[in-house]
Chain A
Amino acid sequence: MRRSLPLTITSFVGFWIVFDYFVKIDFVRTWTVNFTNWVIIVAAFALGLGAVNLLRIHGKRVTERRPGWMESSVLLVALVYMTVTGIFLGTSSEAFLFAFTNLQQPLSAAMFSLLVFFIASASFRAFRARSIEAAVLLISGVILMLGRAPIGEVIWTKFPDIADWIMQVPNLAGNRGIMIGAAIGIVSVAMRVLLGIDRGYMGQE
């Protein structure tokens, strides 16, 4: 019962949603909307569960003074502050937005921006034309960088056109192949889940 009930619910709801995609019946549609709205509620609980898990893991690390406990304590303070202000004052409150605007946003942007320095360093040390494939990648990269930056068309007006061709022909062909392959894989996995063959989402036996 512990396993068969969740499997039956998953199968029933899954096939219901698929059925709704192909037919237009008001009753079916109404329940599809109900099911998808319930997911929002369940997902919100999952976020809460994630927060509790973070508190448990990092709280333990801080109390036991294990390596990285200082970083964990910063995480806990931030987590508690955002949770308390978000729940009790609201996510549109000044206290919540202050931390978001003055801490989370600039810190995240700074971390992402630092990538440019690593890219510059890596382009000098690692991006070498060691083989034909690497040379093709290198040349494509240079053309795309020049084609996508205004200075490229100042150097040669054809750079944007060549960059567009790379994007619209070889890149497109490769990406479309990957996407179609992934889509077939998703259909296959979905069928396994709906038919109860794949039970990984239920955890260990």
Chain B
Amino acid sequence: MEKFLASIDRRYIYIVLLLVVLFPLIRPIGLPISISSWTESFYAVIDQLQAGDIVVMSIDYSPSGGPDVGPQAVAIFDHLMAKNVKVIGVSFLAEGPPQLQQIINPYMEGRGKTYGVDFVNLGYAAGLETAIAAFNADMKRAFPVDFFNTPTNTIPLMQSVTDANDVKVVMNFATGIPGPAEWVRQLAGFSPDILIGVVTVMGPQTEPYYQSGQIKGLLSGLRSAAEYEVRAGMPGSAAAGMDAQSLGHVVIILAMALGNLAYFLGRKGGAK
């Protein structure tokens, strides 16, 4: 038995995993999605915003982490647009602006929203944490032009903001640096609430900021995006991916169990 388990070719595991993940994407199972306290807190902060309030969305995730973090940003942006909250989009990662543009593209033409009035993509500023500090201190100086090279001092939405105290909420969606730590440090002394969305593996290391109250809400990976979609009553791509993720987890747990079974059987055989 242990010889059989030990000799299983890894390619069989790959095939099983692939089939198990593909199946629910083709035929969704519809597993229930409960809402965690992290997501509930995040939702509460967004939900209490009033029409006309201004928030900042900093898209600082790499394209590799996009499938895990991107759906969070999409769900939040849709919710903000539904509430008529105005969004200033920025990025301190070079790959951020095109991804932000993908999020706001559905609203560029139609849906009753206007670029520059309801939302804006300010583009990218180099300098990581120092650039964040510069943005918080004077947004228009840190970003003299937007993603489309329009001077920011001519954009209607930017007329009512100078520094970070002029916005209600700052949200950071990140897969590394700059991320939660940089934003928490650089927003010390400013008034907006901080909300964070991170790739799944960053959730545990971001938890201390949430428990200390430095950030008011935390989304971690695709699961949190699915929770937010369900909580906001707008099921989307994240909720659809949850069945696949669930079954993927089961395969990995079974692989662990089989691996350990082989290990203990082998040890028992060796002891005889």
Binding site for B on A (CB under 8 A): 21, 29, 32-33, 36-37, 39-40, 42-44, 46-47, 90-92, 96-97, 100-101, 104-105, 108-109, 111-113, 116-117, 119-121, 123-130, 138, 141-142, 145-146, 148-154, 160, 164, 167-168, 171-172, 175-176, 179
Contact = CB atoms under 8 A, between A and B. Distances in A.
A49 to B, nearest CB: 12
Interface residues of B, number: 69
B177 to A, nearest CB: 13
A39 B8 CA distance: 55
28 contacts: A21-B189, A37-B134, A37-B141, A39-B127, A39-B130, A40-B127, A43-B131, A92-B149, A100-B98, A105-B66, A108-B62, A109-B66, A109-B67, A112-B64, A117-B13, A120-B14, A124-B8, A124-B13, A125-B259, A127-B259, A127-B260, A128-B260, A130-B263, A138-B260, A148-B200, A160-B34, A164-B36, A167-B203
B133 A36 contact: yes
B213 interface: no
B103 interface: no
A22 to B, nearest CB: 10
A91 B125 CA distance: 13
A159 B249 CA distance: 14
B107 interface: no
Contacts of B256: 123-124, 127, 138, 141-142
Contacts of B128: 43
B207 to A, nearest CB: 5
A161 B142 CA distance: 44
Given A112-B68, A116-B248, 9 more contacts: A32-B137, A91-B123, A109-B66, A120-B14, A123-B259, A129-B260, A138-B260, A149-B249, A151-B31
A33 B137 CA distance: 6
A113 B18 CA distance: 11
Interface of A is mostly: helix
Given A43-B127, A125-B259, A151-B250, A171 B64 contact: no
Contacts of B269: none
Contacts of A43: 126-128, 130-131
A96 to B, nearest CB: 8
B130 A36 contact: yes
Nearest to A117: B14
A36 B147 CA distance: 21
B148 interface: yes
Interface stretch (B51-59, B71-79, B166-174, B239-247): B239-247
Contact of A40 (B21, B142, B255): B142
Contacts of B101: 92, 97
A150 B255 contact: no
B195 to A, nearest CB: 18
Q: Is the interface of B mostly helix, strand, loop or mixed?
A: helix
Interface of B: 8, 10, 13-14, 17, 21, 31-34, 36-37, 62-68, 94-95, 97-99, 101-102, 123-128, 130-131, 133-134, 137-138, 141-142, 147-149, 189, 200, 203-205, 207-208, 211, 223, 242-243, 245-253, 255-256, 258-260, 263
Contacts of B223: 148-149
A59 B60 CA distance: 30
B98 A91 contact: yes
Contacts of A167: 203-204, 207
A179 B208 contact: yes
Contacts of A36: 127, 130-131, 133-134, 137, 142
